[in-house]
Amino acid sequence: MSNSFKIGLSRLGLQLPDSVIAMEVDFIAELLRWNKRINLTSIRTHAEAIEKHLLDSLVLLDHLDGAKNLLDIGSGGGVPGIPLAIAAPSLQVVSVDSIGKKINFQKHIKRTLQLENLAIFQSRIETLGQARPESEKFDLIVSRAFSSIDTYLGCATPWLKPGGRIIAMKGPEGEEELAAAIDTVEQLGYVDRVIISYKLPFSGATRQLIVLKK
């Protein structure tokens, strides 16, 4: 499994130390092991999980742009937050999801892999302020398949630092979603808007990053 992961990293132009690769592979193995008992992801095979969970998450390594902290909204089984926390130990990652079984899995991974730079909260993003100081803001906020861009921006914007960025991880429909949400985008002051398209290294599936900055 680590060989295919290394090949995928190479195709994406990424390099990671062997120790980090081993931790990433352990994370996916645990995700699939838990998934046999409790539903964490619709993905069932190692090959698909490597590509669609690990590699798709790690594409963001090229877009951290010096961020010191990151908020992952609606993180589910821990992606993209956990793969990023493993690969970038100096990055402080806060992972938020409302579903208890998914949060329990993330806490298990935090303990097992000793991820001191990962904080995990069971909460809806709308009520995160009850568990996390509302004065804390983030350099980078990310989400994968969380909701529409309108809803995502409404939830994420209060947590964004001045000069920070929001990234929505989308499929090939990302550009259309952005166009449909343009009124909200403009009302909230996101004048810097970039769409980054890429393909997953094995399936060739198209993905888009919608990067927004005030």
User: Per-residue pLDDT tens for 68-90?
Assistant: 999 999 999 999 999 999 999 99
Give, as one character, the DSSP assignment of residue 148.
Answer: -
Does some domain include residue 188?
yes
- Alpha-carbon gap, residue 21 to 2, rounded angstroms: 7
Q: Residue 45 falls within a domain, yes or no? A: no
| Domains contained in the chain, number | 1
Q: Is residue 204 part of a domain?
A: yes
**Residue 193 located in a structural domain:** yes
**Across 21-28, average pLDDT:** 97
Q: What is the pLDDT of residue 1?
A: 62
The string of pLDDT tens digits covering residues 131-142 is 777 778 999 999
List the structure tokens of 24: 């990433």
pLDDT value for 133: 73
Does 14 fall in a domain?
no
- Residue 30 counted as domain residue: no
Average pLDDT of the residues in 172-191: 96
In a domain, 102, yes or no: yes
Q: How many CB atoms lie within 10 A of CB 209?
A: 19
- Are the C-beta atoms of residues 125 and 144 closer than 8 Å to each other? no
142 occurs within a structural domain:
yes
Q: Which structural domain, as residue segments, surrounds residue 103?
A: 64-213
Of the listed ranges 75-84, 96-105, 141-150, the one predicted with least confidence: 141-150
| Domain at 200, CATH number | 3.40.50.150
- The mean pLDDT value for 26-44 works out to 95
